[in-house]
Amino acid sequence: MKPSANLLSPDNHALVLIDFEGQMAFATSNISLSELRTNVAIIAGASKIFNVATVVTTVAEESFSGPVFPEVEEFYPIATSGYIDRTTMNTWEDEHAYKAIVAKNKKKIVLAGLWTSVCIVGPALSALEEGYEVYIITDACGDVSNEAHERSVQRMIQAGAQPITSIQYLLELQRDWGRQETYVPVTDLMKKYGGSYGLGIHYAHNMLKH
């Protein structure tokens, strides 16, 4: 009856959202921007629902990369969340970002962002080397080509990172539909951003009154 220690729970990890900004998205081609934005909304919403320790970091927000996705700001408004802006491509090499992540005091770190081959590989390999367990939400990461994204994911897996997906992340946190305190927020999030799965939930709630 004991769940695997490899599973994510709301209180055993920190989520780091990296460089979800317009300039980084314009060149992303391995995933459509509409799908990427949807997946980002799912993981940002999930982390908010479950009160996950979350760090939002940007690169050259004012001078180059621009504002974060609306889907990030919906759940983590800049006025109250305090994004950490960097000049480093590797989040792990920025003193303020590094201290913010380490201060969460979590053994597991979950990463998502743009681009996979630079801004995700860097902190993933660095965190692994420091003894953290690293998870990559692969469908909430993007890069300039399929090749760049896939080779980067392979590299991180070979180094010990674990790949997951956005809906998997949400459902792994919920884990049990009997958890009524998060049932409605989770199903509402999926109705809005969950595509055909969310439409199925909408159908069931309305037609089956369940």
- Determine whether 141 is an active site residue: no
Residue of 25, 97, 112, 119 marked catalytic = 119
Indicate the length of the chain as a whole number. Answer: 210
Burial of 80 (0-12, 13-18, 19+ CB in 10 A): exposed
Angle between helices 166-174 and 33-49 (to 10 degrees): 20
Residue 23 has a CB neighbour count (10 Å cut-off) of 15
Task: At 63, list the tokens.
Answer: 């001078």
DSSP string, 62-101: IIII-SBPHHHHHHS-HHHH--EEES-SSGGGSHHHHHHH
End-to-end CA distance of the chain: 27
Catalytic residues, by residue number, are 119
